[in-house]
Structure formats: structure tokens, C-alpha cells
Chain A
């Protein structure tokens, strides 16, 4: 009996030894291995994934880690707050990382830089993966391949453009790169040009889905790339083509929307003015507003009776608001706008009566900055202080362009998280931007009349009374509709014939028009830098704004240094393979 037990045990032992070897081979669970994606649908999925990186988000955080607002695709911090479009907002100490950025004393360790850097390179990495895989797919026609390659290269161009304008000196990685520790000592403009040029020449004019980029979006971006390099002649050629022949991916001939605000409502998105828009969708993810412009989640009015749960950031600056003052003929005060300030309700509590400014104002203001006494979309008349988190810190105004409407809040607003998401697309390039860029090119080339005609197209659209903010039919029921009475004393006119008499004046007017037309859209800082006027403009801004708010007291712009943001210290440290870092810091940091 014992012998039997021993034999059984020994056999069991032997079996145990032999059978367990196989079980050490465990498969990948719940994810795909690369070869499974080398199909038409697979590569199209990778392309969608490349688009998905446009919003800079991965779920409820930034795509490379960090907070959503650090990688917002509209660059509201690096392009907007830092350029005087807006105050940071909220209260002192809230997202304190922005405080050094907006006052230009940040150092390379600031988390915003690293997050942004990683988000853009993630987009590039996805584009490169798509390009690598598309080469292995055998079932695509040449045209289909060219379309996918064109889109992937367009998107890669976009991510590099973002990096180039923010950081200037960035390493270049494409689908052939195997060593990812590349130096940042060559200018990537030529690579960006090549990508957009390929896309411009190879993409079709229309696409099966409205969100897919087409030939004309590529053309506009290519021309913008030329403009940033001051290659005006090359830019003009492409801009002319785009303005004359451009259509959207769904086949609409490029043009300005009749109403300015149609650019900022989901109901009119992907209109004829949308050249390249990042598509946002609300309420598609029950776990949070992950596809609903999470990067702007902080940027809603905030206060005791604000209908939004958070957070009071990105408050249009008093200086920006003053830009919208028009003179009796409906033209702007190009130089002395701050001498004609628009009356605000600083230090006036919501329960104390206040009468808004009665002077002439560009109607675009009230689609750009929420201010006391004026209907705030259909949320009610802006009550001032009680919708502002700390007036004395960041001023009395609220952002609008990223804010959804009350009537459609269940569709366009996304309240699955502690701060709202929104279905409003972000227009990376809209046709008004194209016109103003083209105007700049024409002015630089001396075609002042042409430049003026482009600017006047934009101003004429602004002058359409149908597109103005009107008073509520019943202020107690703001969703009940609007009257035909303008909410303020709006007046805006095209420049009279011959107004662009000199190149200097033309450029000044164009720069100003860009400021007000594209305000709060994240372009301002990069425009100021390429125009070379960031130091004078911003130091003047600090001087004025410090008379209104307390948040910018340390603000000081240093030309040469602050034109570009620093290469993230973390990335420099990580590039120190074998001793000295491969990445070099920008001048001045």
C-alpha cells in the first residue's frame, strides 16, 4: 500500500513538472497586437486615433499625463492668457502653474510645457504609426493610400506646427526614425511644409466624413506655414487658390458665415467657414466629457448662482474688451483703445445697480466677452460679480466662445464630471482667419487694396445686425427668444475706400482685426511673436491691466527670451543619454 502511495506521488510530481512548462506562455489579454491592424479597417482606425489626439486628451487627463487644461488644443493659456486676451481667472493660487506663464517668469520645469510637448509628440507618434502600417496594407488602392497618407501627414504637420510656434527648436521624428533621441538643432519648418504640401497635392477636395481633412484645409495650413516664415509670395499663391476654389470636406464653398456666432455653436458647426476644426462631441462617454473639449473645462462662469459648476478661468481682459470700442464711424481705436475704455462693473456687487457702457461698441465683443448687463447667450443677463470668482484678482468678464447654450445644454453641454465639457468645435483655421492671413500677405506684398478688401469682408460680416446680440424678449425667461433690439450700442463698419494707404497702416489694421475677430481663440501670442511686437504690446498690456486687476503684478516680457517657451526641463534631462543632453534649451532660459 505504501509503495502505491509513493509511486502515485512520484508520478504526480513528474506530471506536475512536465505540465507546467506550457502554462508559462500567457497571451496578451484585452488588447491587439500590431499585425491585426494591418488591414484597411485597421489602418483607418489608426488614422481615427491620430485625429483623436487633436484634442490633447486621454480620457479625463491630458494625453501624455497631467491635467486636461495643460494640453488644450486651443492653447488658451500659452496663446491666449499669455497674450493678454484674457486673465487666467479664478482665484490666486488656483492652477498656480499658469501664474508664472502669464507673467513670463516661468522656468523650464513648469508642467504645462512638458504636458504640451508630450501631447503633440503623441499625435506625431500616432501619425507615424499610421504611416508605417499603411505601407503594409495590401488591400488599399493607390488613391486610398494617398488619402490616408495625406491625412496622416497633414495631422503630423499640424502637431509640428503647434510645437514649432510654441517651442521653436524641436526634434524631428518621422515614420522612419528609429532613434527617438534626436537633437533640436534644425528648423522643422521645411518638414512641416513638406507634409502640408503633400497633403495639398494628394488629398481630395471632399471627403466621406466632414471631420476628415481635405486638400483645401491642407492648402490653408500650407499657406499659414509660409506666412509664419514670411514667405509671402509662396503664401499668396496658395491662399489665392484656397480663397478662390476652396471647399469644405462636405463640399461647401469656403465663405464667411452670415452670423459671427455661428462659428461657436454646435448646431452650425462644419459650416462653410470651418476650414480645419477639431470635432468635439458631448455626452458620448458616460465616464466624463472626454471628447467634449476637456481642455476648456475650467473656462465657464463661476459663482454662487452661476449655472455652471466650475471654474471661472479664462476671463477676457479689460484690455481686450477695450479693443472693441469703435468710434463714431464704426472703426476701431487702433492705438489708443485703452484711452476709450469700456465701462466695467469692477467692485460693484451684483445686488447694486449697474448700467452698461452706452458708447459705440463692435458687436463681436458680446460674443467674445460676457459682461454685466448684456445677455449671456440664453443663460440670462450677465449678473456681473456673482458669476465671477474673484473680480479684484482677474476682472469682471466671462468667456463665451467656448460656452454652450442653455436651450441645448443637455445636448451640447457635458456634465459627467466636476467641470463641464462642451460640444463646440475648436476651429484651428476658419475662413475669417484665412482672409486675414491673406490680407497680411497682400499687405506685405504691397497689394493694399486687396488686403483692405479681405479685412472688410470680415468687418462687413460683423456689421450684419442679424448676427448681433439682442435683448431678451423676457429677461426672466432667457430661453424664450430675443427681440430685434441690439443689446448694446453696436457700431462697426468696413474701412472706407483707400483707408489702407500705407503698408504700416494696413498691417496695423490687419493686426488689430485679427485681435478682435480671433480673440479668445488662442492665436494671439503666436501672432505677436511672429510680428515681432510681443514685448511692446505685452508690456503695455501689463501696464494697463494692472490698473484693473491684481493678478499680473509681476508681469514683464523680455524680448528674445519670452518669444518662445522653454524646452521642458524633463525632456532635456531625459535626453541626457550618456552624459550631456541632446536637447538644447532655448535662449534665455
Chain B
């Protein structure tokens, strides 16, 4: 038995001095590739002057100062013997002779090894082992470490995966290790050739997870962290990583839309704030709020830090959760990868809004008039001469009600100048528009099948000297809504240069150019709403091909949505963003690593748009206006950390301290002019409009953060895990008094499976219970100006024509009430959970229960009107509590060559507001949308965003019923004027007397629906057999309610003149149809039907959707090799193939408006941009 001395890691590092030249590949954007050469030369002669040193220490000295590794048997060498060595310019032989003096030893130098042996020993028969290391695909792996176990002998494979290692003899075991692959040990047994195929590491317990400023093995995690399978993410065809995230991780809710480039709402464990609830993203160590420009193909790993123990090291910005993204690094030999897909996006078909035909629309009007007691059925369109009482469709809607042959429809009378510039011209228009008796399908006039494509090219390589990855992406998604699209170009250059084993520098940079016109939606005035409002009798174009519109009596006042969108055709906007960092890392004193990273972004953009005068509508904006807007923002973050990691026996200790500084700046600039002589897009700019109409604006803002933080991880015996973090953040957004906040957290884990009493349970591979507690902060809702009492001057707010006439003099007003006392929001967070890996890791389970107590919630409560209307500052007033469960179960097994994998995740959160402000216990957060009061009420004791209004218990089916109810109230109140319910009539809604006072008042309004789901789930299924792979993602949301405001427009004749629904005509209350959905159709709106928010508009929003299904085929590598192809996979895939839901609208997935307000409104439908069904053909090719 040979006992080789165990050498420290240092020995290997010395060994690697033999790598004489290291190649640094630093890819600098736009400047090409630069090579830096470095060289380390070994000495050939040595100088020593040491006294009273042990042989062992002397060996270390030799190894430190030379290229040699000293190799010996402990039982043969007296290493503790003290010697003196005084030599000048001595060869290694001379040195060794000196060292071994007076011992019966000799030595032999073989390459870089000095082998010590007894003087009587035979000549050592060294053995040189060679071989090639490949992966399962047969590709050679460069940079694999090959090491003789228990020694410092080792090498790495070259660019062709080849290695050659000389061993002292033919015994021992070689270990092959490579990042991302499972290590292998193979006994030498005298073999001179050992070829190895390394298996890619299963994502298991040893998977390295990037956490706050550090990384940990999965088995050692004590916080609640979701690790997202990036491959599964990329199965979804989307330009947005966030959109791909839906259904992939427990504890994360993603609500998206079909609009290209629109980032979805991402909520980690529900709501944490009354304002911005977006998580913090940390991309390659750089904090940001915006990952919309990240190329999904560039992502290497994706982690979600959900609880305080994992996230609170990000302190003031952690409260909404933290998503850590690292981008890809090159590894292995040069690889060229090309991934591309092309697809078609198909909007929902059919009569999506259940719209009445033009004749049915006329019939509904007739019904409403009849129900309202009108007896005169003269109608400008349907019965212009007033004879008879039936409604028939006209041949022309303009001139109103005209029939074929009417001289008023003589085309020679027609005059419309679409590009008119003065009102006299406009006032002389003569419009002739035919009725579209078949009905215009406005939805499909603006929603069309549209292509989507992505091309991604990546070149990468990496070895011990460094690595690089260069990628190019072209993404082009045309929106199903005409004239919306996202075109995006991104370039990424990531590289790392290892100066030597201790010092690394590198950078991760991405530059993107985005062209992404979007539309507003989920608003009654947005283009999609115009599509459900515009009546079907109106054609898209009039008789001369100009736009048709509602310019005529009885046609409502909505816009031709096709015109709205086509007029945006020449508008342009481009956004440019450089995002990334440069970093340097150095290891020293064995256990320390120091790292500095400087990163951030510069982002700018410019857009211009032209507003054409309208002519086709009844309410036409006659102005023409050109707008140009631009922004220029930057921010940087400088992070410095010092890490210590040491394993001493059973103790594993990691400590990290760091500092981080952040500065950000935004600025906006823009202007507008009107009165253009020509609307030619090549002519219009800010200089060519009427100078008297010029307006402009600019503004800027800045903020900064400075932070210190520390984390400590301690593991005892691989069993007991402890973690503590603390961060102190200083923010410019707060006044000096409250500038700093402390955010501590700690957690612990216990790997019970390591305990002896569970060792016998072989079906348990790993079982860990863990818990944590900590405080996270939030400051997103305040700005640096929050603390100031501010006065401003603005023309609309504070100018006055004090001198009479048409000129205004500037005045001042208080624009903001300052709050110098604002401080950090605190999210006090508790998490307990367990991780289990069972049945040979075929099943893994992770489950967490959490509680969040949001204190000092920054909110700008509406203040008493008596204070005035300056912008109310944010104060630390509100409180909220959230708890819930996240769980993931995954399984992975193989039956007869057929591989199965599945993972199921569950997200629940229950949110309760516990305080709003000192003055009020609720606030309404959505606009009124046609009612005279708001219907989204955030009230103490309820969840964020609940719907509020009257609860309908049925219809008033007879006058007697009404009289009886009124009589009761009149008797009780002794008031002959009293009524049970305002504005009540037969066929209208009967509201619930919630407070039981015997009549309906505004105090009877109650909570009638919660848009927060009870739970949401994602189910990923995968099957592979031979070259085929199949994957599917099912996403489900359960127990949420939707406010369908489309119904307000369309189920009631009296809520505006618009296109109406089949419900209004066929399922509304009549004396003979009392079991109806909608109330009686009348000409006037009423408190008891559509004028008040009530439960009619609330629907069940649960749904299950096949988000994605993909079938792929990977060609066998053997045949491809001849073509120089390493890998070729083709696939077909479909998105949103089916949705199972009871919701009557177009799409149950509903975020709020895509604007600032959209942070806190959701589950409201007023014309959504639905996610289309997408069919794709794709290819993955590696050269």
C-alpha cells in the first residue's frame, strides 16, 4: 500500500505553471477580437539559503520555486529531518542531492516530476497514459482536468480533448473532472490508453445555484429559491424571458398579453406594495428593473429568490423578490450554434364578442324603445320617414337612412379630403357611405394572422485560459393587431480571461436595438375597445375608399379601429441599450477571493409620431400634430466583494463582505408642432410645423444607493446548514434622517437524510428541512423629490389670463407636499420548507410555506381635500400581510428506452391589507370605467385589487314586488318618499341588502370578487424516445374573478350607442323571459342596471391552457459528423393550442393597462390584446 502525501490545491496550481502561454480572448464590442499574450517562465537554476528547515518544508520550497512536483512515499522518507541548504545557481539535481543528504535515498527526474526512492530501489518504471475525453455526443472536451487521485499529478485536455500524463507507476486511479459534467474515476491498472466519455451532470443536489453575491450547491440551500429550467423556458417562442417564465416556477405569477414587446406582470409571492410590485432582476451581478431587451437564447441560468433569507442580501430592493440571471459562457472547443424558428400567430376566430348583426342591432334598438314606452319609431337610419313601426336596414348610413337610388347618394356629390388642413374644407365634406348589411367583423379587421421569427447565432469556446461567447439575435414578432410589432437586434459579448489560476477578468456586454410600437389596451378608449364599440353596419371604407365611420345619426361615437391603427404606420420609435459589466476576480491566501464588478447600462431612445386629422367619425379631432420624444438614461452599479471559503474537517465556512454603489439618471426631451402644410412623412418634422404651435418639455431625475453587506454560510458535517445575511442600504430617496436601513436575515437547514436513523431508508436520497426569517426592503415607490415641499409653474395648473385676452401669465402652485420622514418599507418574511429527493432521485419535491408582513408600506394615501391637491407624498403608513404555499414536484425516469420527465408547480398566495392610512381604511385603485364610482377597492381585511359594488340577487319581476318593498321602507322610516332601491323598475336588478337596514344605500356595496387566483399551477411534461422528444406545458389559474367591462358596453342598450351583444337581444329580461342573464333593455341607464358597479360584471376567471407543446427530432450524430455538424435538431411547436375556461370574453389572462397604473390593476377586461395561437417550425444546429 502506497501512501502518497496529500498535496494541497497549491500543488496543482504550480503544476499549471507549465502552461506557458495563456490566451485571453476579450471581445470588445464593435472593436473586434483582441488577443493578449502572457507568459510565465520557469527557472532552470535555483538559489536557496535556508537553515534548519525540515525536508518536507524544503520540498514545498522547491515546488514553489520550480516547475517540479516532488513525489515520494511517506514510509520511505524522513520528512521531518532538519537540514540546511545553501546553494547558488544550482541545478535541480544539485538541489535534490543536498536535500536528500544523509538519507538512503536517490531520485529521478521525469518531465516535471521528481520521484524519490530508496537507493537500493530499481529504476522506476514510469507510465505515460494518453487518451481522449469526449461527451456523450462524441464531441471532444478540452479543458478537462485529469488527476492522479491522492497526488498533485495532473493535466488538462487540449483543444482536441486529448491528454497525456506521466505517472510514477502503473498503479493508482485517475480522476476526470469538468464543470457541468459528472466526475469519473478510472483505475490505471497499467493501461497506457484511457478514453473517457463524461456524462453531463444531472441537475441534482450538486447543481450549483447562483444566489446573492455567491453560489451554493443545491443541497446546501436554506432559502426559498426556484431554479428555473432554462431549456424549458426557451421552448416558448417569445422575445421576452419574463413571458417564457409563465408556469415554470412555483411562487411566481406571470400575467401576459399577446402584444409584442409588452413585458408581462411578474409577481413573486403576490403583492408587496401598493405601487410597483416588479421584482429586482440581477443580470450577471448587475441589478436592473428591466430585462425586456435580454435575448432569451443568451441565458445560462435563472434563479428566483423568494424569501428573505435568500433575497434580503439585496436589501432595499428585495421585497418584491429577486430574479438572478446569468448569461452564457463559452466552454469547450469552438462551437458555432444556430437556433432559429419561424411561425404564424393566429388570432382567435369566430364571433369573439358575440356581436349582433346590423339587423339584430336595429331590432335591439326597437326592443329598448318599446320597453321604455316610446311609441314613435321614427329613426334616422332604420325608419327615416317615420311611417310604420318596423326597423329595416338602410342602403346607406351616410346620408343617413338613404336607400339605393336616392339622389343624395349620387357619387358626384361626394367630397372628402382626408388630408385637409382647415376647417372650412372639412365643413364642406360630403360623405357617402354604404351600410354593411352583413356586418363588419371589426375584431378580424384589426386582428390578423402574423409571422414571428427568431434567428440566433452564437460562437463560443472556453478552456482553462478563459472563455468567450459571442451571440447575435434577430427577433421579429409582428403583432396580430395590425401595426404592432417588435423588431429587436441584440449582440452579446461575454468573455473571461484567466491571467492565471488566481486572477480572472472579464466582461458581459449586450447591446440591443428595439423597434417596438405598442398600443394601449384594456381601456374603453383604446383601439381594441373601438373595435368592440364600432357598430357592424359601418363599413371599413366608404364608397371612394376613404375610411368609413360613425359620421351619421345613431351610429355611436367610436373610432374606426382600422383607421386608428393604419394612421400609426409611419410612426417610428427606436430604443438603444447597452447593458453589462466588467469584472475582475482574484484568489489569494488560499481561501480568499476578491471581486470587483462595474456594470450598468446606458439606454436611450427616440420616437416620432404624427396625428392625422380625422374625418370619418362623428367626433373628429381636426388637428394635425407631429410629436418627437426622446430619452437618455444611465445607471451604474459598482460592486466589490471579498469572499472566504474554508473547509476544516467537518466544518465548511463561507463568509462574504461587500459594498455596492449605485447611481442612476434619467432625462426626457420632446416637442410637438401642429399646422402642417403637408402630411407627407418625409416632410413632417419639428421644424416644418407652424411655429406658433410649438411646444416642448424636458425633465430629469437622479437617485443613488450605497450599500454594505455581508453573508455567512456554515455547514457542519454536511448536515446542519446555517446562513446569515445583512445589508445596510443608504438611499438618496430618503432624507438624511432616514437614509439608511438595515436588512438582516438568517436561515438554517437540517439534512435529516444524513442522520444515521434515516440512512437505512434507502428510498430517501436526500431530505432537508429548512427555515428562515428576515427583513427585506422596498423603495421603488418613492423618488428623490419625495421629501420636498415643491412649487411649480405649469400652464394648465397655474397660468391665468390676468390681463384679459388670449395670453396667460405664469403663476406658481404647490405641486408636491413633501415628506421628510419617509423611510424604508419593510417586508418581514418567514419561510419554512423542505426539499426531498426520493427513489433514486426519480422524484424530487420542494415545498415552502411563507408569511410576509409588510410594515411601513410606502403609500401616498389620498388626503383630505382641505389639504389641497399638491401631489401627496409617500408616507410609511400602510400594512399588508401575505401568506401562501409554493411547491414543486418533479419526476424523471426511464422505461424501456423511453424517458419521461414531469414537473408540477403550485403557487398560492393570500393577501390581506391590514392598514391603509390613518384617515381611511380603503382606497380605490382603478378608474371608474363608465360608472360614477370606482369598483376596485383595496380595503383593510381584504386582498389587494378586489371588486366592489352591489350584489345582484335577481330581477324585479313585477311592479307589485317593487311597491311592497317601497311600502315597507316608507312604513319603517315614516317617510312617504322613501324607496327601497333607487331608480327601480320592473326587469332591473334587485340588489342585496347587505347591511340589513331594509333599503339599498351605498352602504350595501360589498366585495363581489377577488381577481387574485386561489392557486395557479404549471405542469411540464416531457417524453423522449430515440431521437424524438416531446414537451408540453400546461398552465392553470384557479379561483380568480374577472371584471368583464366589455359587458357594460355591450350587454346594455343604454350604455352608449355601440355594437351590442347577443345577450342584450336574446337573453335580456322581458316579462316572458324572466330567467334572463341581462336586465331589461331600455333607452336610459339606471342605478339599478348598468350605471352602478355590480356583480353582473364579475365572472369566474379560472382557466387551464396548453401554453406550449413541442415535438422535436434530433438526428443521429454519426451521419452528421461527416458534414461537420455536431448536433441537428428540428422541431414543430404550438403555443396556446387550447384554453379551457368558463370565461365569456376573448382571453381570461388579463393584466391591467400596460402603464404605471398597470402595476396594481389586473383581472379587468375592457378589450384585451389576447395571446394568439402560434405554430412554429424550428431548428437547433451546432457546428
Contacts from A to B (Cβ < 8 Å): 2, 5-6, 9, 12-13, 16-17, 19-21, 23-26, 28-34, 36-37, 42, 45-54, 57-60, 63-65, 91-94, 96-97, 99-100, 103, 105-112, 114, 117-118, 121-122, 124-126, 129, 171, 173, 180-182, 209-212, 266, 269-270, 279-288, 290-291, 302-305, 307, 309-311, 347, 349, 385-386, 392-393, 409, 411-412, 415-419, 423, 425, 550-551, 553-554, 556, 558, 568-571, 573-578
Contact = CB atoms under 8 A, between A and B. Distances in A.
A431 B815 CA distance: 36
22 contacts: A2-B588, A9-B596, A23-B661, A24-B732, A26-B733, A29-B701, A29-B702, A48-B810, A52-B813, A109-B933, A114-B865, A122-B865, A124-B866, A181-B864, A211-B801, A270-B804, A286-B694, A291-B800, A291-B808, A423-B806, A556-B977, A573-B922
Contacts of B796: 57-60, 285, 287-288, 290-291
A33 B791 contact: yes
Contacts of A417: 621
B376 A347 contact: yes
Contacts of B642: 13
Interface of B: 372, 374, 376, 378, 380, 384, 386, 398, 400, 423, 427, 502-503, 551-553, 584, 586, 588, 594, 596, 618-623, 638, 640, 642, 659, 661, 663, 672-674, 693-695, 699-706, 708, 730-733, 736, 739, 784-785, 788-816, 862-870, 918-922, 928, 930-933, 977, 982-983, 1001-1002, 1052, 1054-1057, 1083-1087, 1090-1091
A94 B586 contact: no
Contacts of A347: 376, 378, 386
Contacts of B733: 26
B305 to A, nearest CB: 25
Given A12-B596, A103-B983, A107-B982, 16 more contacts: A2-B502, A29-B785, A31-B815, A33-B788, A33-B789, A51-B800, A63-B797, A105-B1087, A114-B865, A173-B866, A181-B866, A309-B620, A415-B623, A418-B619, A574-B865, A575-B919
Nearest to A292: B806
A304 B588 contact: no
A109 B1087 contact: no
A573 B811 contact: no
Contacts of A36: 791
A9 B920 contact: no
A441 to B, nearest CB: 30
A554 B984 CA distance: 9
B802 A48 contact: yes
Given A109-B933, A122-B868, A281 B806 contact: yes
B163 to A, nearest CB: 29
A418 B613 CA distance: 11
B932 A304 contact: no
A16 B640 contact: yes
B352 to A, nearest CB: 24
A386 B788 CA distance: 54
Contacts of B586: 2, 5-6, 9
A392 B378 CA distance: 10
A13 B640 contact: yes
Contacts of A270: 804
B727 to A, nearest CB: 14
Contacts, number: 360
Given A92-B1083, A109-B1002, A25 B797 contact: no
Given A59-B797, A269-B804, A285-B795, A416 B864 contact: no
A134 to B, nearest CB: 13
A31 B791 contact: yes
B866 A211 contact: no
Nearest to A553: B1084
Contacts of B868: 121-122, 124-126, 129
Contacts of A5: 503, 586
Contacts of B553: 303-304, 385-386
Given A9-B596, A58-B797, A182 B866 contact: yes
Nearest to B426: A307
Contacts of A287: 672, 695, 795-796
A164 to B, nearest CB: 14
B566 to A, nearest CB: 19
A111 B932 contact: yes
B386 A34 contact: no
Contacts of A46: 791, 811-813
A58 B812 CA distance: 13
A28 B921 CA distance: 32
Contacts of B398: 304
B871 to A, nearest CB: 10
Nearest to B933: A109
A438 B466 CA distance: 95
Question: Which 3 pairs across A and B sit closest by C-beta, in order of nearness?
Answer: A48-B811, A125-B868, A59-B796
A52 B798 contact: yes
B380 A92 contact: no
Nearest to B671: A286
Interface centre among B699, B730, B789, B865 (most CB of A within 10 A): B865
B703 A26 contact: yes
Nearest to B401: A349
Given A16-B640, A26-B702, A554-B1086, A284 B804 contact: no
Contacts of B794: 59
A573 B805 CA distance: 42
A392 B661 CA distance: 68
A550 B622 contact: no
Contacts of A117: 865
Contacts of A173: 866
Contacts of A291: 795-796, 799-801, 808
A252 to B, nearest CB: 12
A38 to B, nearest CB: 11
Contact of B810 (A26, A45, A118, A269): A45
A266 B804 CA distance: 9
Contacts of B1056: 91, 93-94
